[in-house]
Every structure is written in structure tokens, then in C-alpha cells.
Chain A
Amino acid sequence: MGWLAPGFLLGALTIAVPVWLHLLKQSASRPRQFSSLMLFEPQRRSTTRRRRIDHWLLLLLRIAVLLLLATAFAEPFVRGHLPGTAPEKLLVLALDDSYSMHAGTRMEDARREALKVVDAKPRDTQAQVVALGSRADSLTEQVQDAAMLSTAIRGITATDARGSLALLASLARTLAAGTRMPIELHLFSDMQATGLPPDFNELRMPPGVTLVLHTVGAAVTPNWTVESVAAPSQVWDPTKTRIVATVAGFGTPEATRSVILSINGRTVSQQSIKVPAAGRASVVFASPEIPYGLVRASVQIDPADALGADDRYDFVIQRSERVHGLFVHQGSDTSTGLYFRSALESAADAAVALEVVTADQLKNRDLSAYAFVVLSDVAGLAPAVEQRLSTWVRAGGRLLLSAGTAAAQQKRIPVFDAPIVGSHDFTRDDIRFAAVAAVDDAYAPAGALSGWQGIKIFYVTRVDAPQAQVGLRLADQTPLLLEKPLGQGRVLLFATGFDRLTTDLPLHPQFVAFVDRLGSYLSGRGSRLSALTVGDSVNLRPDAAIHGSVDVLAPDGSHPLDLRQAAQVRTWPLPGAGFYALTLADSRHDLVAANVSRLESDLAQATPDTLKLWKASSAEQVAQSAGTTTVTTAAAIGRKESAHNLWWYAMCLVLVAVVAESLVASRYLNTLRDSS
């Protein structure tokens, strides 16, 4: 016998209260007047201290109530099960439905094993069926009905999701927190080695959970896969496009495989590569013929093996015309435009055609022909020109301003509409320069670019723009890159120049990446990915301010979102492999490709030692918590001992004692009333 909450046994000390009250009753009798206390002896213990307790039965009942209450709260338990009762526990059947369960008869074997466990289950034992893939889905409540459990098990099919055995431990912790019963957790899985977490501690079961592993499938199953494809997500000139595909074999012999590149379902290229045994090889598709628009591209192995979904890698390429940008500089500054254009053209994609003009030439330009405009340290902008720029931005244009030494002489930043509160020439300080100290990784133009700390900023213009989003910030908290919306467009402010006088950024390799990011961001091309993995979420509402309806067209032609989801959902996880046509909230159309995680392609099972260690650690936890014995066969379920909580019986005894106390107290009260 043990106690689940032994601290409550301290409550037994409260029995002093009724004892004291019964003694107090003796002393609480009505005071009597007496002629003289001269002949009494107050110092004698027998005179004043000796108090007799009346109503012994009542006192004992009251003590019993308190002791039983303390006992009930301390939750006594006995090991094993009470005579005439079945061992109380919760049976959890977790079936792995990850992509690897497609291989061979793994899913069928898992279902069959699970049904065996259900059949062997004692009738009054509660059980729950859980499908374990990239997340744990409870398919039933905790029920005793074997038919309901069997139906749920038969309904489980393998998905395209990636499996994680660490998720099982998380599930066990959740279940253990929600039930007082010991849990017997059965896992039916192919026990993929790639499903194991890097840290073994993530697999540890919580106390009270007994893990039973049911391994299905062979230890090693050969499998081919297109492991990865490196392709640009956006192209404007297919002649410069290169698509690199890597084909891998897991447990496979050396073989020559045919690899096909398909564009919109049409084979555009096919190559053969020799893949070493259990190795990988790459193939390059150069200058493929890519039509304009969003293109469905695939690289697949021909012929596919038994596990076909990972023999194909889908991705999306968007082909568009080059966008045009306008770079405006002061007439005296001839180098900045050169730097900026060189950086843009050096980028891998180089989808932006940049026109460099002086500030005087700006007034003759039709801004609607440009995707973005860069004003490089331009001072003395004519009000009419500024008005034209503002109108253009409000209509959806994107403007980048740099505030170098010339712009800092003005009182405000044009279009950005923020007052200049000062400037700082770091070369006059001892430190000579400032460095970027904070980068907003979520900010597309600057985030995820490394090496900012090595950039020296010699001069910065300080503006008062508390409402602006800050992408870069110097060590003295001066904002370096700011952005704020204006109408339907956006205005970015680089609070220094692009010249070598105000910063050494043009001398660093990061300048090319930064300008390329700026170009992509300003031209509205963004940084879309060519392919996603099953389970990844797509953002259906890039602009949270737009509350339009969204839609998803799944690879099988269905629309998985219901009306409520179409009106409210913001992100949506991709459930399976294939192309998904998206209608975003702003009515734009997009196309994404989802592929099975290639971690699922390696069908090698975890080593027996690893599984043995996992089970041993689980049994250790259980033994520590309740002293039960781990039995890993379904037939032994009915014989397993468990801790049986006795709090209910203690509460019943409390009830009996309370009733008895009430009766006895009532009798004493009547006696007292009669005597008075």
C-alpha cells in the first residue's frame, strides 16, 4: 500500500481540534459564583487542568471523520487489483500512419496487430486509438467498446506525413496528465530510424506509462527517391536556368536510373544516371523550355519503385518578364547608380532591369512603367516631383530612399514624410564607425542575411518615424532601414547612402545579396519557395488587413476548405504530396508544390538495441512510479498489476462516519436540552 499524495496525511493533525473542542466544552460551562475560593488551590493540576472528556463516542466519530478525510486526500493505493475487480488501466493504441507505412504491407500488419490487442483486451478496460503521423490524431474517445476501437483501427491508412517517434512521448505525457489510471501504450510502427529524435530523452515516457512496441515491416527495405531538386522559383530567361536533381538510393544496389523532367505534365528532358549502391547522384537539366506563368515542374525516376510518391519531386517555377526599376541620383554622384545596378545584375536571377537617371531627369519619366524607384541621397526634390512620387506610391508603387550626406541637410525626408532630427558622422568619434546591432529576421529585405556585423556605417541620418517598421538598427539604436506603408504602396528608407562615403557596404559581398533582396522585394516578386514539404503550412492571407475569402484546390481536384475555413483560416497545412492551387485573400492566385519528406524515404528501422533501450527506460519509469511489472505481449494484458486508488472507499467511510456523527450528536443535543 502507498500514498499518492502523502502530504495530505498531515491533515490528520486536525484531530486535535475536536479533542480541544470537547475539552473546551468542559471549561465553557456557565461560571458559578462561589463565596470564596480561599480553600481552592489554583496551582494544583488536579484542580484546574484535569479535564474529563465527555461524549467519547461523539469525539471518536469526529476524529474518524477527520482521519478518513486526510486519508482520502492522501489517495492511498494498493498494488495489484482488488479482489473481484479487473485491473484498471488505459490502453492506448497508436498506429503510425506516416508515409513510410505505405511500403509493402506495413500498414496492414500494423492494423492486424492492433486488432489482436483489442481482441485480447478485457471487456471493462478502456482503450483509445490514435493515428500517429506528423501529429497525433485521436480517432476515438477512451471507450470500452471493442467494436468501436476495431472500426477506428480499420479506418487508418498511411498518409504522406512525416512520422516522429518523439511525438509518441509527447502524446504519452498528455494522456498521463489527463488520467489517474496507469497507461499501457502500444505503438504499431515500422520504427524508422529517421523517426527517432536526435536526443534520446525526447523518447522517455512519463511515469505510469508502459510502452509496448509492435514492429512491422522488414529491417531493411530498398527504396529509390528523388532526394532534392535545386531550381529557381522565378525565372525570366530560361536559357540561364539550371535545374539540379539528386537521386538517392537507400539500401539499394548500384544501378542506372532514368530521370525525367516534366513541365506542366509534358516531358521536356530525360537523362540516365548511374547511382552507386546505397548512394546518390545528381543530374542537371540546363535551359529547359519553361512557359510563362506558374509552371508545374516535376523530376521523377522512371520507372518508379513500390514506394512511388518519393520517386517524384514536384516544384513550381514562375516565369515572368524582367521588371524595370528606376535609380535616381544627384547629378554629381556617378558611382552609386553603378554600384546598385552592378549588384542587381550580378544576382543569380537578375530579373530586374535597372535604369539610372539623375534627379533632373526624373520629372520626364513615366513612373507607371517602373516596378520600383530608388532615390539615392537626392536633395532638393521639387514639390511637383514629390507629389508625383507620392501619388505613384499610393497607387501601389514601391519607393526606396537613401538619406546620405546630401539628404540629411533637409528638414524632412520627402514622400516618407518624416522629419530629420539630426545626423551623426561617426568618423568624428573615437569609434570611427557604427555597426548594425539588430536585424529583424522576419523582415524580407534584410532578414536571414548574415554578415551585417562586419558592415561599417560612417554616417547616418536620424529621423523621427515612430510608426515605421525597423528592419536594421545600429548599436546606438538608430534605425538604419525603415519602412512604412503609404496607400497601397510602400516606402523604404535606408538612413545612410549607398556610396562608399557613408558606408563600406558596397565593398562587401553582402551588398549584392542585400541589393538583390531589395530588388526582389521592391519589384514584388518576394522570396517564394519552389517546393514545400507535406505538413508545411501555406499562408493564405499574406496581408492580414484584407479579409477576402480563400480557396485551395487539392491535387485530387477537391476543395478541402469548408466555408468557415475559407472565411477565417490564415495558414493551412499541406496534407499530402502534389500541386495545390491557392486563391489568396487578396484574390491573387498562387501555386505550391508539396513533397513527401525525404526522411521517410529511408526505410531502415531503428536498431534493436535502440528499441530495447527505449522499452527499458519506459519500464524503469513505470516501476519507479507504481512498481508495476512491464509485460510487452498483448496476451499478458489481463495479468498486469496496477496501482489501485482507494480514495473512493475512504470517502465512503467518511460519509458513513459523518452520518453516524450526526446521529450521535443529535442524541447528545437532545440529552443536553432535556437536562437544561
Chain B
Amino acid sequence: MQNLLDPKVLNAISGLDLVAATVVDGFVAGLHRSADFGFSQEFAEYRAYAVGDDLRHVDWNVYARSDRAYIKRFHGETNSQLMLLVDASSSMGFASHEVSKLSYVRFIAAALAYLATRRQRDATGLVVFGDTVRDFVPPSSRQGHLQRVLASLMHAQPLQTTSYAAPLTHLQAFLRRRGMVVVMSDFYAPPADIVRAVTPLRIHGNEVVLFQVLDPEELRPTVDGSSMLIDLETGAQLEVSEDYVQGRYRERIDAHVADLGREARRAGIGYHLLQTNQPLDQALLQYLRLRTGRD
């Protein structure tokens, strides 16, 4: 199962839908051996049919045996909404190996969308942003909507700088239902500013989760001697020494990650650090935890 969730393996798969299906199916197969989580496909109870119920949910086998119409209910059948906010700024294009941060985010977003749409029947929406909202897919659970989300993810390219205020302000107008908001970014901004920008998303009781996606090279850069670094977003250049990168910078990036997690938790926001060389199950697991907690 782990192999199927390895980003490097997924990177070799061309279709994002197939990636999503591979990730989710593999992930679900692993979870079936666990008693902690249930999916909406798992039976919960029967309820007598009432006028207005969707005939698709009638258990026709029971009706044949008992001549009574019952509606089959499943876990998690309470419809929810998942909004995926994907940072597609230039810095997300950074990659020290085969999988860039944006590719990794695509995999996560696709898997989450697949999981939410196909397994949980949740409405899924997508916002691709840089310093502005570049693509917006309103949340929906209709058939074929998943393909639209996946298509938008496929078209997301690393451009522009990052701004959290404008896109999130824009998003607030569309969050009319209670649900989950997953923000995926490298979060190169002061933690307080990020949390301040994200906190308004918690209106209507939304659960907000921050997935900070970083390349291992960003956390533990390797520099031989001194190197000239170019900022992917601003184009600024800076010559850095090996000593600084291996010492002071590591302290600063660790502090930044810790600060962001602390600030997020203090604001009641979920936070997870994802590295692009790690399997994707952590993100899915986090989603299911929240999803389960909501049922």
C-alpha cells in the first residue's frame, strides 16, 4: 500500500484521476483493517421510506423479501463540503527531486477530492490561487464534478507570488455551508499573518486545516561552499554560505514551522507539515479524522 502512496510512484502515473483512485483505493484498503474509521459506504441502519426520499437509496432486496420499502443509510451520509485551497505560486514549483511541491499538492488535492466525492459524497470545491484567485471550482457533488476539479488541478501552474489575504477574502463569499477547508501551501509568510488570513474561514463552523507542503531541501538544504540562490517568486538573488545554511537557516526554518503550527493550533486550526518525499496517507488520514469527528 505504501508504494502506491509514494509520490515518486504517483509521479509516474499520467492521469490525475488515476492517481487519485490509486491513492484512495490503496489508502482505503489499508484502513479496512482498522476499526477506527468508517466510510459512507458502510451500512449504518435502515429507515422506513418516506415520501420525498431518493428512490436510489431504497434497499430493493429488503423490499423483495419483506414488501416494505426501507431506506438504507450509511455512515457519514450527512452531506458535507470540502474546499481545497491550492497555492500555485511560483515557490510551489520548487523541487529537489522528481516531485515538486505543486505536484505533491495536486496529488493530495486529487486524492482528497476523490475521497470526498466518491466515497463520502461530499461536495468538493477548489480554489487555485497565487496573489489572486486564478481558478475557482464551486463546491458540488454532482456526477462529473470530480473531473472538473481534477482538470483544474492539472492546469494549475506555478506562477505569481503568494498572497493569502485576497484569495481567502474572496473565498469567504462562497462558504455558505458548513464543511472543511483545506489550505495547501508552503506558507512562506509570517505565521501570524497566515493565521490571521485563514481564521475568517472558520465562519459557519468550518473546519480549517493547513497542509504546509515543503520540499526536504527546504528543510535541510545542502550547499557546497557558498551558493547563489534565486528566489523563485521575486527573482532576488542572495549568496549564502554553507555554514549559514547548515546552521542558522535550519534554526529559522524549524522555528518557522513550529511557530506556524503553534499559531494555528492556538486559533483552532489544524496544521500538518507534509514533505514531498513522504507518502500521501497523512493528509488523507487527517481528512478522515476531521470528517469522522464531524459525523
Interface residues of A (CB under 8 A from B): 26-27, 29-42, 44, 46-48, 50-52, 54
Contact = CB atoms under 8 A, between A and B. Distances in A.
Contacts of A37: 229, 231, 234, 236, 238
Interface stretch (B136-144, B145-153, B247-255): B247-255
B219 to A, nearest CB: 11
Interface string B84-109: 00000001101000000100000000
B85 to A, nearest CB: 18
A267 B180 CA distance: 151
23 contacts: A29-B228, A31-B227, A31-B229, A31-B230, A33-B94, A33-B230, A34-B221, A34-B229, A35-B92, A35-B94, A35-B101, A35-B188, A35-B233, A36-B232, A37-B236, A39-B253, A40-B238, A40-B244, A41-B252, A42-B238, A46-B244, A46-B248, A50-B244
Given A29-B227, A39-B256, A34 B248 contact: no
A492 B97 CA distance: 108
Q: Quick one: which of B188, B224, B226 has the most chain A CB within 10 A?
A: B226
B122 to A, nearest CB: 31
Contacts, number: 95
B77 to A, nearest CB: 41
A41 B221 CA distance: 15
A40 B228 CA distance: 12
Nearest to B250: A39
Nearest to A27: B239
Contact of A47 (B218, B241, B253): B241
A33 B226 contact: no
A37 B233 CA distance: 9
B227 A32 contact: yes
B226 A31 contact: no
A33 B230 CA distance: 5
A29 B249 contact: no
Given A29-B227, A47-B241, A39 B232 contact: no
Given A40-B238, A42-B238, A32 B230 contact: yes
A27 B242 CA distance: 12
B215 interface: yes
B186 interface: yes
A35 B253 contact: no
Contact of B91 (A26, A36, A46): A36
A27 B233 contact: no
B9 interface: no
Contacts of B252: 39, 41
B248 A44 contact: yes
B178 to A, nearest CB: 34
Given A46-B244, A48-B239, A50-B241, A40 B249 contact: yes
B240 interface: yes
B290 to A, nearest CB: 28
Interface of B: 91-92, 94, 101, 186, 188-189, 215, 218, 221, 224-234, 236-244, 248-249, 252-253, 256
Nearest to A23: B226
Q: Quick one: which of B229, B234, B242, B256 has the most chain A CB within 10 A?
A: B229
Contacts of A35: 91-92, 94, 101, 186, 188, 215, 218, 231-233
B6 to A, nearest CB: 22
3 nearest A-B pairs in the assembled complex, by CB-CB distance? A35-B94, A36-B188, A35-B91
Contacts of A33: 94, 229-230, 232
A37 B237 CA distance: 8
B116 to A, nearest CB: 28
A465 to B, nearest CB: 83
Q: Quick one: which of A35, A42, A51 has the most chain B CB within 10 A?
A: A35
Contacts of B225: 26, 29, 52, 54
Contacts of B231: 34-37
B241 A52 contact: yes
A274 B234 CA distance: 118
B240 A51 contact: no
A553 to B, nearest CB: 91
Given A26-B226, A31-B227, A34-B221, 5 more contacts: A33-B230, A40-B238, A44-B244, A46-B248, A51-B226
Contacts of B226: 26-27, 29, 50-52
B241 A34 contact: no
Contacts of B227: 29, 31-32
Contacts of A29: 224-228
Contacts of B238: 37, 40, 42, 47-48
Contacts of A51: 226, 241
A38 B239 CA distance: 13
Contacts of B92: 35
A27 B241 CA distance: 9
A307 B16 CA distance: 128
Contacts of B218: 34-35
A420 B29 CA distance: 133
Nearest to B100: A35
Given A35-B91, A35-B94, A35-B101, A48 B229 contact: no
B201 to A, nearest CB: 23
Contacts of A47: 238-241, 244, 248
